[in-house]
Amino acid sequence: MSLELTPNDSAIRRDPAAQLALMLAKELWVLKDRQLVLEAVLTQQGIAVRDLVDRYQPSEADRQVIDAARKRFAADVVAALEAPGDRR
Protein backbone atom coordinates (compact mmCIF):
# COMPACT_ATOMS: atom_id res chain seq x y z
CA MET A 1 0.00 0.00 0.00
CA SER A 2 1.34 3.38 -0.94
CA LEU A 3 0.52 6.92 0.13
CA GLU A 4 1.34 8.02 -3.42
CA LEU A 5 -1.58 6.45 -5.26
CA THR A 6 -2.85 9.69 -6.72
CA PRO A 7 -0.47 12.35 -8.09
CA ASN A 8 -2.47 15.54 -7.48
CA ASP A 9 -3.48 14.71 -3.93
CA SER A 10 0.04 13.47 -3.13
CA ALA A 11 1.66 16.66 -4.39
CA ILE A 12 -0.58 18.75 -2.14
CA ARG A 13 0.25 16.56 0.83
CA ARG A 14 3.98 16.91 0.17
CA ASP A 15 3.80 20.70 0.38
CA PRO A 16 5.73 21.50 3.57
CA ALA A 17 4.55 25.13 3.63
CA ALA A 18 0.94 24.03 4.05
CA GLN A 19 1.84 21.63 6.84
CA LEU A 20 3.94 24.29 8.52
CA ALA A 21 1.02 26.73 8.32
CA LEU A 22 -1.22 24.23 10.10
CA MET A 23 1.41 23.51 12.72
CA LEU A 24 1.66 27.25 13.40
CA ALA A 25 -2.12 27.52 13.44
CA LYS A 26 -2.24 24.82 16.11
CA GLU A 27 0.34 26.63 18.21
CA LEU A 28 -1.51 29.91 17.69
CA TRP A 29 -4.72 28.32 18.92
CA VAL A 30 -2.96 26.91 21.99
CA LEU A 31 -1.74 30.42 22.78
CA LYS A 32 -5.18 31.97 22.21
CA ASP A 33 -6.70 29.32 24.45
CA ARG A 34 -4.09 30.09 27.07
CA GLN A 35 -4.82 33.80 26.88
CA LEU A 36 -8.54 33.15 27.38
CA VAL A 37 -7.72 30.93 30.35
CA LEU A 38 -5.38 33.57 31.76
CA GLU A 39 -8.09 36.22 31.49
CA ALA A 40 -10.57 33.92 33.20
CA VAL A 41 -8.13 33.13 36.02
CA LEU A 42 -7.31 36.78 36.62
CA THR A 43 -10.99 37.73 36.52
CA GLN A 44 -11.62 35.09 39.20
CA GLN A 45 -8.91 36.82 41.24
CA GLY A 46 -10.72 40.14 40.91
CA ILE A 47 -8.70 41.60 38.04
CA ALA A 48 -10.92 42.23 35.01
CA VAL A 49 -7.92 41.99 32.73
CA ARG A 50 -9.84 41.48 29.47
CA ASP A 51 -11.58 44.82 29.79
CA LEU A 52 -8.43 46.49 31.08
CA VAL A 53 -6.44 45.27 28.06
CA ASP A 54 -9.19 46.16 25.59
CA ARG A 55 -9.38 49.72 26.87
CA TYR A 56 -5.71 50.26 27.53
CA GLN A 57 -4.24 53.27 25.67
CA PRO A 58 -0.48 52.89 25.30
CA SER A 59 1.60 55.76 26.59
CA GLU A 60 4.08 57.37 24.21
CA ALA A 61 6.85 55.22 25.68
CA ASP A 62 4.71 52.08 25.36
CA ARG A 63 3.86 52.97 21.78
CA GLN A 64 7.50 53.35 20.79
CA VAL A 65 8.29 49.89 22.18
CA ILE A 66 5.29 48.31 20.46
CA ASP A 67 5.94 50.11 17.15
CA ALA A 68 9.57 49.02 17.11
CA ALA A 69 8.67 45.40 17.87
CA ARG A 70 6.00 45.35 15.16
CA LYS A 71 8.32 46.88 12.53
CA ARG A 72 10.95 44.27 13.38
CA PHE A 73 8.36 41.50 13.05
CA ALA A 74 7.11 42.85 9.71
CA ALA A 75 10.68 43.07 8.42
CA ASP A 76 11.31 39.48 9.43
CA VAL A 77 8.18 38.37 7.55
CA VAL A 78 9.27 40.23 4.40
CA ALA A 79 12.80 38.86 4.67
CA ALA A 80 11.44 35.35 4.85
CA LEU A 81 9.49 35.89 1.64
CA GLU A 82 12.09 37.65 -0.51
CA ALA A 83 15.40 36.31 -1.75
CA PRO A 84 18.03 36.09 0.99
CA GLY A 85 20.61 38.91 0.96
CA ASP A 86 23.49 36.64 0.03
CA ARG A 87 21.76 35.66 -3.22
CA ARG A 88 20.94 39.15 -4.50
Sites of contact with other proteins (CB under 8 A): 1-3, 5-9, 12-13, 15, 18-19, 22-23, 25-26, 29-30, 33-34, 37
Q: In Å, what is the CA distance from 28 to each residue of 66, 70, 77?
A: 20, 17, 16
| Cβ closest to other proteins, residue 24 vs residue 79 | 24
Cβ 52 to other proteins shortest distance, Å: 22
Those residues whose C-beta lies under 8 Å from the C-beta of residue 39, and which sit 6 or more positions away, are 49, 50, 53
Residue 59, SS3? coil
Those residues whose C-beta lies under 8 Å from the C-beta of residue 48, and which sit 6 or more positions away, are 42
| Cβ closest to other proteins, residue 28 vs residue 69 | 28
Cβ 80 to other proteins shortest distance, Å: 20
| Cβ closest to other proteins, residue 14 vs residue 70 | 14
